[in-house]
């Protein structure tokens, strides 16, 4: 090969003999992987010569130890598998998943020690896999500041809350002890990590400027001033250690005009989870469709693309930016227990690795076919169909999983139980015929579909049937509802046992106890509810309730507050939530304050991320009465069809029994991104019911 050959390049010649040459060990390794793929189907290989090299130097995926801590042997298995697809980087997102020798107190149960992590890095290097740690040191440091020994470092220690209502998610950058802590954590990584890169994190720092020490600087130059001083200091630590610092790009999108003030060595990781017409769509640009990668590149910073793990999302950004100068690579991000299990996004991260090698998205059908040969020994992509549903079922409102939050799931989830059984049976058949790893396919299918679709589906069924029983007790007697739910509970318990066994098998022992406790707690809550419902009360209610049904789940808004007037006309807060990911249910049932009048007023205030609508609002009284909206006024809410808000609430609100009705929606407009309040007068008069 010539003197100007790129790193990791190889030349493979297939004739009467097979010749593989490369200028470096990594190139030889990747050439062997290509040869193995050529031989995989039937042992034959095509004749010819190929010179191959990567389009992007960083071809990575993310392993999240911050939300669940995987066993190291499993993590190594994933890294080896990904290296066969020519991925060369694993981004290790850590939070409290690492036990620091200098600060062991905030480590989670089962956290990897630094010695174990050093061994992990060494093992990955044998597959030419670089390990780049992502170390939170400003935002996402709740695991530090909520520990009693470090609470004094909390930016929200004086009780002032950020726009999400939180006061416990960020270190205070003005305190010298914060810098000493960050330096100590970084130093332990510098000692074991040979990577030329180091990720300083610093994303979603919503609390900067809250404390009295940071406030003067905030008042003088805004949050950008507070942020940049800390980030540039942290970046310089990495530079002094001989590494290029990486930084999540979201915060700088608040102040793109300050990008020239960012440390020149910083590589920006542009995380992009929403798109509109092929452009990034995110809250930091007020949900405008912007070329965020272009913003960073034009400011002179190199970029690593960070799409979410779904293959279709990765394809958009690879095709748009994969061969642009200044784009160094891809991190296919996975946020375990916040969005999905790692194994559930296998197709997406493998697709990203293949695309990063060539600089554009592979043909998805051809990729699925090739993946089936490599993973399951199946011809024609049949085995790929065993796992692909795991990567396509959960687009839309499903953003979290049972063990972190209670998640609503598609209504037809239970109908897929027979399909799941059929797929598992097919997996066993393929295993017998081709000796593929049946347990791995089982883990992928069962963990994802059972946990995300079947076990969590229980709450959705309870909420739906409970509400129908409350609205129509004569049509759906509560006792009958309880009986159906008990049957559902029995079926799901049997399925859950399989999931528990898989979870225990593949997770550290320290994590299984909290997981099983969460399952047991939900079982107790459901059982208590069923007992209450089976008692046959007229409504099943012990107090008056407000029912609010949104068109989108909570992640569509940053803040929601619901207030109602009591008998004296005073406002009482019914519900308040910040950062909607905490409660992704669309239907919400809230207990009302004592003394609420039937002809009272309800005020709903939303600070949305994008469009969100209200399908209907209703009050269910414990004595069996109901109250419905009769009039409303507010800013930011419009008729979905006519784009106007009128006093005729009956035309604006969706009838819960008629899914085709129109409904009120918050229209997506940048000028309406502040809190939008809808004040609704309620009445229990029959003419409005």
pLDDT tens digits for range 167-176? 788 999 999 9
pLDDT confidence tier of residue 373, bands split at 50, 70 and 90: low
- Give the number of other CB atoms < 10 A from CB of residue 36: 11
DSSP symbol at 53: -
**Banded model confidence at residue 563, pLDDT cuts 50, 70, 90:** confident
Token pair recorded at residue 443 = 């883990």
pLDDT tops 70 at residue 649: no
* Helix, strand or coil, per DSSP, at residue 659: coil
Contact 357, 90 (CB under 8 A): no
pLDDT in tens, 49-106: 999 999 999 999 999 888 777 778 878 988 998 999 999 999 999 999 999 999 999 9
CB 88 within 8 A of CB 40: no
* Residue, of 536 and 369, whose pLDDT is higher: 369
Q: What is the mean pLDDT of residues 195-213?
A: 92
What per-residue confidence (pLDDT) applies to 575?
Answer: 76
Q: What is the pLDDT of residue 685?
A: 64
- Summarize the confidence of residues 179-195 as an average pLDDT: 98
Range from 18-27, 132-141, 669-678 carrying the lowest mean pLDDT: 669-678
pLDDT for 349 equals 85
The 3-state DSSP class for residue 589 equals: strand
Query: What mean pLDDT is reported for the chain?
Result: 73
Backbone angles phi, psi at 131, to 5 degrees: -110, 115
Instruction: State how far the Cα of 125 lies from the Cα of 340, in Å rounded to an integer.
Output: 27
Residues in the chain: 689
User: Could you tell me whether strands 130-134 and 112-113 are parallel, antiparallel, or unpaired per DSSP bridges?
Assistant: unpaired
Number of H helices, E strands in the chain: 19, 26
Share of the chain above pLDDT 70, in %: 56
Q: Please report the domains of the chain, with CATH numbers, ordered by start residue.
A: 10-52 (no CATH), 58-391 (3.20.20.80), 414-534 (no CATH), 545-688 (no CATH)
Q: For residue 193, which of 266, 268, 91 has the smallest C-alpha distance?
A: 91
9/57 Cα distance (integer angstroms): 11
* Residue spans of beta strands (DSSP E) within 476-625: 545-550, 557-565, 571-578, 587-591, 601-608, 612-620
Q: What pLDDT band is residue 248 in, cutting at 50, 70 and 90?
A: very high
Q: Which has the minimum average pLDDT: 49-63, 94-108, 396-410, 594-608? A: 396-410
What is the rounded CA–CA span in Å between residue 590 and residue 581? 18
Quick one: pLDDT at residue 652? 35
Kindly tell me if the per-residue pLDDT of 273 is higher than 80.
Answer: no
- Residues of the chain with pLDDT > 90, as a percent, come to 31
What is residue 584's predicted lDDT score, i.e. its pLDDT?
44
What number is the average pLDDT over the span 547-560? 62
Indicate the pLDDT class of residue 287, thresholds 50, 70 and 90: very low
pLDDT, position 397 = 29
What is the structure's pLDDT at 659? 34
pLDDT of residue 350: 86
CB atoms within 10 A of CB 494: 8
Q: Is the pLDDT of residue 166 over 80?
A: no
Asked whether the beta carbons of 379 and 373 are under 8 A apart, the reply is yes
Higher pLDDT, 72 or 580: 72
Question: What's residue 159's pLDDT?
Answer: 81
Distance of CA 643 to the CA centre of its chain: 32
Q: Does residue 315 contact residue 351 with C-beta atoms inside 8 Å?
A: yes
Question: Residue 194: pLDDT above 60?
Answer: yes
Q: What confidence tier does 670 reach under pLDDT thresholds 50, 70, 90?
A: very low
Structure tokens at 418: 């027979």
Which one has a higher pLDDT value, 483 or 348?
348
> Looking at residue 663, what is its pLDDT?
36
State the Cα–Cα distance between residues 134 and 192, nearest whole angstrom.
14
Q: Which residue reads 């012990």 in tokens?
A: 542
Q: Give the bridge partners for 557, in sequence order.
A: 608
Work out the number of other CB atoms within 10 angstroms of the CB of residue 22: 22
Beta strands in 625-675 (DSSP E): 626-634, 637-639, 664-666
Q: DSSP string spanning 478-492?
A: HHHHHHHHHHHHHHH
- Does the pLDDT of residue 646 top 50, yes or no? no
Query: Which residues are CB-contacts of 26 (< 8 A; sequence separation ≥ 6)?
Result: 7, 8, 88, 128
- Per-residue pLDDT, 233: 98
Residue with tokens 């493998």: 350
Q: Which are the contacts of 146, defined by CB distance < 8 A and separation ≥ 6?
A: 154, 168
pLDDT tens sequence across 504-539 = 555 555 555 555 555 555 556 555 655 655 555 444
Question: How far does the chain reach from its first CA to its final CA, in angstroms?
Answer: 80
* Lowest model confidence (mean pLDDT) among 124-128, 438-442, 640-644: 640-644
Rounded Cα distance between 280 and 270, Å, is 10
| b (16+ CB within 10 A) / e for 325-360 | ebbbbbbbbbbbbbbbbbbbbbbbbbbbbbbbbbbe
Burial class (CB in 10 A: 0-12, 13-18, 19+), 145: buried
Summarised one tens digit per residue, pLDDT across range 17-56 is: 999 999 999 999 999 999 988 886 666 788 999 999 999 9
- Read off the pLDDT of residues 300-358 as tens digits, 9 standing for 90 and up: 999 999 988 766 667 778 888 888 999 999 999 987 655 455 655 667 788 899 999 99
In the three-class reduction of DSSP (H, G, I as helix; E, B as strand; rest coil), residue 174 is classed as: coil
- Residue 265 has what pLDDT? 98
């Amino acid at each position: 090969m010539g003197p100007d050959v790129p790193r990791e390049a190889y030349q493979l010649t297939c004739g009467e003999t097979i010749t593989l040459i490369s200028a470096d060990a990594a190139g030889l390794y990747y050439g062997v992987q290509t040869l193995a793929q050529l031989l995989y189907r039937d042992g034959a290989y095509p004749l010819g010569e190929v010179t191959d090299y990567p389009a992007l130097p960083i071809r990575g995926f993310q392993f999240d130890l911050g939300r669940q801590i995987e066993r190291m042997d499993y993590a190594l298995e994933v890294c080896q598998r990904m290296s066969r697809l020519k991925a060369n980087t694993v981004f290790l997102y850590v939070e409290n998943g690492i036990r620091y020798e200098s600060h062991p107190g905030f480590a989670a149960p089962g956290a990897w020690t630094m010695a174990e992590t050093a061994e992990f890095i060494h093992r990955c290097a044998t597959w030419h896999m670089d390990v780049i740690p992502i170390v939170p040191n400003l935002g996402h440091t709740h695991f530090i500041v909520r520990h009693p020994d470090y609470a004094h470092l909390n930016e929200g220690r004086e009780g002032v809350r950020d726009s999400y209502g939180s006061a416990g998610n960020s270190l205070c950058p003005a305190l010298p002890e914060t810098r000493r802590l960050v330096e100590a954590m970084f130093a332990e990584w510098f000692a074991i990590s040979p990577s030329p890169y180091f990720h300083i994190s610093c994303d979603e720092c919503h609390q900067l400027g809250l404390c009295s020490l940071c406030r003067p600087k905030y008042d003088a130059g805004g949050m950008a001033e507070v942020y940049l001083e800390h980030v540039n200091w942290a970046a310089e630590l990495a530079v002094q250690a001989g590494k290029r610092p990486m930084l999540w790009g979201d915060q700088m999108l608040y102040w793109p005009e300050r990008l020239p003030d960012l440390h020149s060595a910083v590589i920006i990781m542009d995380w992009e989870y929403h798109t509109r017409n092929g452009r990034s769509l995110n809250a930091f640009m007020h949900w405008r469709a912007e070329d965020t990668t272009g913003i960073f590149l034009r400011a002179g910073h190199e970029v690593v693309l960070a799409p979410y793990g779904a293959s279709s999302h990765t394809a958009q950004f690879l095709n748009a930016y994969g061969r642009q100068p200044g784009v160094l690579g891809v991190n296919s991000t996975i946020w375990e227990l916040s969005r999905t299990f790692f194994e559930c996004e296998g197709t997406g991260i493998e697709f990203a690795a293949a695309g990063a090698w060539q600089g554009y998205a592979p043909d998805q059908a051809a990729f699925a076919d090739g993946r089936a040969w490599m993973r399951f020994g199946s011809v024609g992509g049949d085995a790929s169909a065993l796992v692909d549903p795991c990567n396509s079922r959960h687009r839309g409102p499903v953003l979290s999983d049972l063990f972190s939050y209670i998640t609503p799931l598609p209504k037809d989830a239970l109908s897929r139980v027979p399909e799941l059984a059929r797929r598992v049976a097919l997996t066993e058949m393929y295993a017998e015929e081709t000796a593929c790893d049946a347990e791995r396919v089982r883990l992928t299918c069962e963990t994802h579909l059972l946990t995300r679709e079947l076990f969590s589906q229980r709450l959705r069924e309870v909420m739906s049937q409970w509400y129908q029983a409350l609205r129509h007790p004569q049509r759906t007697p509560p006792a009958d509802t309880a009986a159906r739910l008990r049957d559902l509970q029995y079926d799901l318990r049997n399925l859950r046992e399989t999931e528990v066994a898989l979870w225990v098998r593949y997770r550290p022992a320290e994590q299984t106890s909290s997981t099983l406790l969460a399952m047991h707690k939900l079982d107790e809550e459901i059982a208590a509810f069923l007992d209450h419902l089976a008692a046959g009360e007229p409504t099943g209610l012990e107090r008056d309730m407000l029912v609010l049904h949104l068109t989108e789940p909570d992640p569509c808004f940053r803040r929601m507050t619901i207030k109602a007037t009591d008998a004296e006309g005073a406002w009482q807060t019914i519900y308040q939530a910040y950062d909607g990911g905490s409660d992704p249910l669309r239907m919400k049932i809230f207990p009302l304050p004592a003394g609420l009048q039937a002809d009272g007023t309800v005020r709903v205030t939303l600070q949305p991320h994008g469009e969100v609508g209200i399908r209907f609002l209703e009050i269910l009284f414990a004595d069996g009465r109901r109250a419905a909206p009769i009039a409303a006024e507010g800013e930011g809410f419009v008729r979905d069809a006519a784009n106007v808000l009128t006093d005729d609430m009956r035309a604006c609100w969706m009838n819960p029994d008629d899914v085709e009705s129109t409904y009120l929606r918050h229209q997506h407009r940048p000028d309406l991104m502040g809190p939008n309040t809808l004040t609704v007068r309620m009445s229990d008069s029959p003419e409005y019911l």
